[in-house]
Amino acid sequence: MVSIPEKVLQKLNGESVKVLVTADASGQPHAIVCGSIVSPAPDKVMVGEILMKKSSENLKANPKASFIVAAGMEAYTIDVANPVRIAEGPVLDGMNEKLAAIHLKASAVWMFDVTAVYDQGATPAAGTKIA
């Protein structure tokens, strides 16, 4: 597993545009904006399963995914693998406590191991692996 650098964690856990990208078994990509994407530890990323039918199907068929985090000129890709769907317990309860403030509820939480992090900002460093 790989640890997400601090500057990326700040963007991921703060105000930014967050996208989950999955692919089905044939490789067809699917991307959705998800405000519930967070990192509970530097080597983990999780997202609440809220209206994620296609993404959830894809994760069951293809265990690799990516998250995109963007804020202004800064952007990062976080590659992940080994998805685990958590449908009950304290992790889901904690996610739903936070989501209640915006009147949403997750039916589950998807937890991933981080495998790589890339700088994708609007700079000459775009595409550089940073973790």
pLDDT at residue 123 in the model: 94
In CATH, which of 3.30.420.10, 2.30.110.10, 3.40.50.2300, 2.60.40.420 is domain 6-124?
Answer: 2.30.110.10
| Residue 6: burial class (beta carbons within 10 Å; 0-12, 13-18, 19+) | exposed
Pairing verdict, β 74-86 and 109-119: antiparallel
Low-confidence ranges of the chain (pLDDT < 50): none
**H-type helices in 22-130, by residue range?**
53-61, 90-99
CB atoms near residue 41 (< 10 Å)? 13
Q: What pLDDT shows up at residue 75?
A: 97
- Looking at residue 33, its pLDDT comes to 96
Domain boundaries, the chain: 6-124
- pTM for this prediction: 0.94
Number of alpha carbons in the 13 Å side-chain half-sphere of residue 77: 15
Nearest Cα neighbor of 84 from 37, 51, 46 is: 46
What was the pLDDT predicted at 1?
A: 81
| pLDDT recorded at residue 55 | 97
With 0-12 CB in 10 A as exposed, 13-18 as middle and 19+ as buried, what is 100?
exposed
Q: What is the pLDDT of residue 42?
A: 96
CA distance 11 to 111: 18
